[in-house]
């Protein structure tokens, strides 16, 4: 997901129709889904998790380019001076990263085939009261996500827990993501009730979602240039100056919506830990001013750095 808000058009409340997926592509996805679901039925979800760990390990052994990119990202967080023990830590973090990515993708492919009760039993919501108390104020809630961990899973899990959720995503999504979103909509009534907006559309629907008490979630830590017309804020993270998008953050400040930060941690055997942090600004101080915006954005960046420091295998951009 991205936070890219411009005044270009007035869309419907849900995102426009997605680009059609070819029959051949659908067939490939369905063959893979059928095999993985059969494996899970034969050997349980634990067996599927071990299957994912095996293939993640194989990828870790042969994909040296991804290993190198991961180590470059890790160097930004921990620094480049390592002892022998630190070198072991780097290898372990990288290996776990590969296994986590592979296991999360396997579960993502068959999520809609699993019993709802089995899914909900695998969710551990840390500090859920922060979200409930924020929603009780009646102004919606803005949950800042980031591109660390399987953040695409977080909104689905939140919807299954009974919350009204809305998200903003890129228009140029891959075929697998678009295919699975269609499958989720066919299976989960909660997913059909979610509001999903494209990132380059007019922000009227974002204002409406806050006013109607929705949880609006976007990721602001965009790593590539999205255009000079987008508003950004400079923050310091991992000792480097970066620019994060500010569109939805400013909307939340104008609406007076409580601002929290969310993370998802993938655990063993497909258990997930949802973490709420915040609020990033006290409600009585919330205002769309340059000073407040800068303070909130820097706190957002600091929380990301702290989270990744404790969960290095959740680095996603590698």
When divided into structural domains, the chain yields a total of: 1
| Phi–psi pair at 186, nearest 5 degrees | -70, -25
* Structure confidence at residue 178 (pLDDT): 85
Please indicate, yes or no, if residue 15 is contained in any of the structural domains: no
* Structure confidence at residue 81 (pLDDT): 64
Q: What is the CA radius of gyration of the chain?
A: 20
* Structure confidence at residue 78 (pLDDT): 77
CA distance 259 to 251: 11
Please indicate, yes or no, if residue 10 is contained in any of the structural domains: no
Q: Packing angle between helix 64-78 and helix 290-310, nearest 10 degrees?
A: 120
pTM, two decimals, is 0.86
* Structure confidence at residue 76 (pLDDT): 80
* Structure confidence at residue 229 (pLDDT): 59
Q: Quick one: pLDDT band at residue 12, thresholds 50, 70, 90? A: very low
Please indicate, yes or no, if residue 271 is contained in any of the structural domains: yes
Quote the domain boundaries for residue 124: 23-314
Please indicate, yes or no, if residue 7 is contained in any of the structural domains: no
Please indicate, yes or no, if residue 199 is contained in any of the structural domains: yes
Residue with the larger pLDDT of the pair 226 and 249: 249
Please indicate, yes or no, if residue 237 is contained in any of the structural domains: yes
Please indicate, yes or no, if residue 8 is contained in any of the structural domains: no
* Structure confidence at residue 30 (pLDDT): 95
For the cut 80, the answer to whether the pLDDT of residue 261 exceeds it is yes
Mean pLDDT score, 132-154: 88
């Amino acid at each position: 997901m991205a936070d890219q808000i411009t005044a270009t058009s007035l869309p419907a409340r849900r995102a426009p129709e997605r680009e059609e997926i070819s029959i051949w592509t659908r067939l490939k996805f369905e063959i893979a889904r059928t095999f993985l679901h059969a494996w899970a039925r034969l050997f349980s979800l634990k067996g599927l998790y071990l299957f994912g760990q095996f293939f993640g390990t194989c990828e870790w052994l042969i994909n040296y380019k991804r290993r190198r990119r991961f180590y470059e990202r890790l160097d930004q967080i921990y620094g480049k001076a390592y002892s022998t023990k630190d070198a072991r830590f780097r290898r372990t973090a990288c290996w776990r990263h590969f296994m986590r990515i592979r296991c999360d993708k396997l579960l993502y492919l068959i999520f809609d085939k699993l019993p709802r009760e089995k899914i909900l039993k695998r969710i551990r919501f840390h500090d859920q009261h922060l979200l409930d108390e924020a929603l009780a104020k009646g102004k919606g809630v803005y949950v800042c996500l980031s591109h660390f961990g399987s953040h695409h899973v977080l909104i689905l899990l939140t919807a299954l827990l009974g919350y009204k959720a809305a998200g903003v995503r890129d228009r140029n999504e891959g075929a697998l993501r678009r295919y699975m979103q269609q499958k989720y909509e066919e299976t989960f009534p909660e997913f059909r009730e979610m509001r999903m907006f494209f990132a380059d559309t007019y922000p009227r629907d974002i204002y409406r979602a806050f006013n109607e008490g929705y949880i609006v979630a976007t990721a602001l830590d965009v790593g590539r240039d999205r255009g000079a017309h987008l508003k950004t804020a400079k923050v310091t993270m991992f000792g480097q100056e970066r620019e994060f998008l500010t569109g939805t953050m400013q909307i939340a400040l104008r609406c007076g919506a409580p601002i929290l930060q969310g993370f998802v941690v993938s655990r063993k055997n497909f258990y997930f830990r949802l973490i709420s942090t915040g609020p990033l600004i006290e409600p009585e101080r919330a205002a769309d001013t340059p000073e407040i915006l800068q303070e909130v954005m820097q706190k957002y960046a600091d929380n990301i750095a702290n989270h990744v420091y404790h969960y290095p295998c959740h680095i996603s951009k590698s």
